[in-house]
Amino acid sequence: MSYCIAMALDEGMIFASDSRTNAGVDHIGRFCKMRVFERPRDRVITIVSAGNLSITQNAINLLELRSKGNNSSRSMFGTDTMFDVASLLGDCVREVRRRDGPYLIQGNVDTQVSFLIGGQIRKEQPRLFNVYAEGNFIEATVDTPYFQIGETKYGKPILDRVITSHTSLMEGAKCTLVSFDSTMRSNISVGPPIDLLVYERDALKVGVQRRIDEADPYFNRIHTEWGEGVKRLFSQLPNPNWDDSRS
């Protein structure tokens, strides 16, 4: 399984994805699930994906192949809006699933996939989309400034409590790592390294991009201090004082 987060904040955007594809006693696979396409001073586009690895890789590779040396409206480097880029990715997802889906289904292989695609094209504000397996998509808004895909349930509570569109990029990055730590603690199918990208609004170039592994000092500090902080706060909560006496 996978876990990916993307945020569209006032200051810019954050993308993060884990790298684990299989988990078991004797087999763990790792693949990068983040792809970044950049034309400095013109556009930055980032995609993170979850689900069937073959379909996600093929769909993104097809999108890239159709865009090489192509500045038409059928290329992510030729479109004028991120909406158009999301539409192109949706078309690629449909094509790959139409081609490979029947054969995978015959082998009882799950063909479900999902993508978070976002970025900024010159003369347009940053935009973020959640693309589904059917190729349709929705866009992040001020009221819903982040998306999750994959194993979402364990890392969602901290995002719901902290993230708004006004959250700063550094606070958003910190919250993202806490969300990943919570998820990895409860689900073995999500694991490091974590690929993290921070994009500053209107920069039109990649900003901070890091691969965070088990030895990363900051992530280990987050892991330790968050866990100890939760326990400390829990111990400070008042015990229940229920009075079962009948009057």
Distance, CA of 38 to chain centre: 18
Quick one: three-class SS letters along 113-148?
Answer: EEEEEEEEECCCCCEEEEECCCCCEEECCCCCCEEE
Q: Which two structure tokens, joined as six digits, stand for 110?
A: 């799950």
* pLDDT tens for each residue of the chain, 247 residues long: 689 999 999 999 999 999 876 644 455 567 889 999 999 999 999 999 999 999 999 999 999 999 987 777 789 999 999 999 999 999 999 999 999 999 999 999 899 999 999 999 999 999 999 999 999 999 999 999 999 999 999 999 999 999 999 999 999 999 999 999 999 998 888 888 999 999 999 999 998 999 999 899 999 999 999 999 999 999 999 999 887 665 5
